[in-house]
Structure 1
Amino acid sequence: MTRTRSRRLAAIACVPPVIALGLAARFLGAGLPADLAGGVLYAVLVYVLLTFLRPRASAWSNAAIALVLCVLVELLQLTGIPADLARAFWPVRLVLGTGFAPLDLPAYAIGSALALGADVLQGRIRDRRPTAS
């Protein structure tokens, strides 16, 4: 299996559990821990989706882009556009949020860093495996 295909499969396999954990944090959690967990998992999901779309890109570039995208979505909340969209179609709230929360910014940095670390570690483990000849 090629490295590109392997990365893409690993990325897509992470999507359902990351979404499930994020929804659990959103609907079952409460307070600051749930908010922070949601931000971390949001960044991890963005990283995973980027890795699926850009499997040949470096882990570092996917992490940087994931962080930038998350910050841009958070800043977009200052405009009120996501809140208006969420009133029209409630699931938008889960993707874009509705109100700016400054504590989400470090959560996005943590999530991007965790996803980067997991991806790099998984790559090292994969590279150490003996290949079948």
Structure 2
Amino acid sequence: MTTSPAGSSTLAAGRGGMRGRRLLALGLLAAVVVAGLVVHGALPDVAATDIAGDALYAVAAYLAIVVVAPRLGPLVVGVIAAAWCVGVELFQLTGLPLAWGAVFTPAMLMFGTVFDPRDLAVYLVTVAIAAGVDASVRAVRRSRR
């Protein structure tokens, strides 16, 4: 462990950076969830709002992983988020999410209802964009140290 000119250790600075990353992701996650609820509940159910909802879901998955594991890099977070989104979409083929949503409406927000192959593309593209933005932000922060 090395010491910086200000007397703080590099390891401690790394922990603070992870705490900041987690807090930023948590704040962004809250905003994305609110946006998703607005898209789902207040806007007409058309293709554009469906795509927007899917994109917000993918970003929320990405951010939730950063909140839980802020030390993971963008590539790993992206792979996990994409796997989650694809897994949930494929799970819809079982019919269980639709049945659960009929009994407990909030389950639809987490698991969707009906499989749509377009959702897979939206998830993958959105997660790739989120990972790219995350990697760019991390690179800028590293360059400023």
Fold similarity call, TM over 0.5: yes
The alignment yields a C-alpha RMSD, in angstroms, of 1.3
Q: CA deviation at 1:30?
A: 3.4
1:129 matched to 2:138? The reply is no
1:77 matched to 2:92? The reply is yes
Q: CA deviation at 1:52?
A: 0.8
From 82, 86, 100, the equivalent of 1:67 is 82
Q: CA deviation at 1:129?
A: 2.8
1:19 match: 33
From 109, 113, 116, the equivalent of 1:101 is 116
Q: CA deviation at 1:4?
A: 1.3
Distance 1:13 1:114 in 2: 19
Distance 2:82 2:45 in 1: 24
Q: CA deviation at 1:29?
A: 4.1
Distance 2:144 2:73 in 1: 20
From 2, 20, 24, the equivalent of 1:6 is 20
Structure 2 residue ranges without an equivalent (≥5): 1-12
Please list, as runs of the form range in 1=range in 2, the aligned pairs for 1:17-56 lying within 5 A after superposition.
17-27=31-41, 28-56=43-71
Q: CA deviation at 1:17?
A: 1.1
Q: CA deviation at 1:118?
A: 1.8
**What fraction of aligned residue pairs are identical, expressed as a percent?**
36
Q: Which moved more, 1:90-99 or 1:111-120?
A: 111-120
From 116, 120, 132, the equivalent of 2:131 is 116
Q: Which moved more, 1:115-124 or 1:68-77?
A: 115-124
Q: Which amino acid aligns with 1:79?
A: T
Preserved contact between residue 44 and residue 114 of structure 1 (Cα < 8 Å)? no
Distance 1:116 1:29 in 2: 29
Deviation string 1:38-65 (CA, Å, 9 cap, x unpaired) is: 1111111000000111111111010011
Q: Which moved more, 1:100-109 or 1:119-128?
A: 119-128
Distance 2:133 2:127 in 1: 10
Aligned residue pair count: 130
Q: CA deviation at 1:124?
A: 2.0
